[in-house]
Amino acid sequence: MIHSTLQQHPPKGDTIKNTTMENSSAMRKWLDDFKLSHPLVIAGPCSAETEDQVMKIAQELKDSDVSIFRAGIWKPRTRPGGFEGVGAIGLKWLQKAKAETGLLMAVEVANATHVKLALEHDIDVLWIGARTTVNPFAVQEIADALEGTDKIVLVKNPVNPDLALWIGGVERLYNANIKKLGVIHRGFSTYEKTKYRNIPEWQIAIELQSRFPDLPLICDPSHITGNRNMIQQVSQQALDLNYDGLIIETHIDPDNAWSDAAQQVTPKTLKQIFKNLKVRKETDEADDYNVKMTRLRFNIDEHDDKIIEILSKRMAVADEIGALKKEKNVAVLQSQRWTEILDKMITQGAGKGLSEDFIKHIFKAIHQESIIHQERIINETRS
Ligand code: PEP
Ligand code: MN
């Protein structure tokens, strides 16, 4: 008899793990257990380089707002030939740093071997890097290797702005019964050069935050900016958006760091950054606050309505242009005209305090939508 394998169901006894992750106040228990009166801070070098470097940095961070010491042991490099990390020997240095300072230790893991070694060396916090979050096979391998442990696991956003992929990574760990989870926003890759190394997409993180309000959210201003002079400003932005913590690369001799030299700060600078940061309250009970806020939000809603109205009028004009181009058999994209519009809008926006980045973003989206409208008209077949 021939059996068809196509129709087969999983063998009996095999369970498919597909629990959807729901928000729950228990998600932030591990964070609350730190009992901090300030945001959680994770700090330490991009990479562990030598025992002496690890010990010196950990000593300097000991009596500060830092709760967790970070150090990369295995480094994912864009191209071969860069410093690929010291490997397992570095875990011994971290164990020593933990014994001497009491700081919890965090490393990046990218496969089951890393997890096994980190567990053997009593590492407390594991993070999954941006280049690993993009790969569900790798995340699943890590989740399987961690099943049954009670480690804190932080999932960095994938390099590409894909919220489902980011959440999917967290869900794989959740399904492996990892209870102490958190996410790290480290910005996203872009082909275009911007002032950031990895552009922050605050909106994506806000969406994640609104779906899982109790899932601890940490900002990584070091990898977002790639530049130590911007760490303060981006850290403040994160706190203004209610982030629960920061992960900041810190080195005793940043300029001579073996990786990510430009973005690392000294322990002294880090402490100054903490002093300058303003921690905002989530809300304010006072009546005058509520009255003023309601009025301002009403105002914002009115402007948003007008924006939609104007956009729809602009698209109606695009439709007319599409009809004319169709009649005369002219191509939809007129790149010179588009460059002129963009340049004009950037100049006009600058005069009104609107950044070039913002104008580019918004007009690219508008232009894209206009093209879609025109194409629809041009390709319409007459019935
Ligand atoms: C890191 O934290 O050192 C790192 C490699 O980060 P990312 O995965 O965000 O690039
Ligand atoms: Mn780094």
Closest CA to 27 of 148, 135, 183, 149: 183
Beta carbons within 10 angstroms of residue 259's beta carbon: 19
Residue 102, Ramachandran bin (φ over 0: left; ψ between -120 and 50: alpha; else beta): left
> What are the pLDDT digits (tens) for 39-65?
999 999 999 999 999 999 999 999 999
Residues with CB under 6 A from ligand 1: 46, 72, 76, 108, 129-131, 156, 186, 223
152 has which bridge partners? Answer: 125, 180
Mean pLDDT, rounded, for 208-235? 97
Å from CA of 2 to ligand 2 middle? 56
Question: What does the pLDDT read at residue 10?
Answer: 52
> What are the pLDDT digits (tens) for 271-329?
999 999 998 877 788 878 887 888 888 789 878 988 998 999 899 998 998 898 888 88
Question: What does the pLDDT read at residue 285?
Answer: 80
Å from CA of 98 to ligand 1 middle? 22
Å from CA of 280 to ligand 1 middle? 27
Nearest CA to ligand 1 atom 4: 129
Closest CA to 233 of 200, 204, 203: 200
Closest CA to 70 of 287, 264, 300: 264
> What are the pLDDT digits (tens) for 345-378?
999 999 999 999 999 999 999 999 988 988 888 8
d(CA 187, CA 190): 10
For residue 46, give the ligand 1 atom closest to its CA.
3
Angle 340-344-349 from CA coordinates, rounded to 5°: 150
Share of the chain above pLDDT 90, in %: 74
Å from CA of 62 to ligand 2 middle? 21
Pocket test for ligand 1, best of 42, 69, 223, 250 (most atoms within 8 A of CB): 223
263 has which bridge partners? Answer: none
Give the number of whichever ligand sits closest to the CA of residue 110.
1
Q: Which tokens belong to 97?
A: 């740093």
Give the number of whichever ligand sits closest to the CA of residue 189.
1
**Please, which pLDDT band fits residue 233 given cuts at 50, 70 and 90?**
very high
The three-class DSSP label of residue 317 is helix
Å from CA of 147 to ligand 1 middle? 23
The three-class DSSP label of residue 152 is strand
Q: Measured on CA atoms in the order 152, 158, 161, 167, is the torsion positive or negative?
A: negative
Name the pTM for this structure. Answer: 0.80
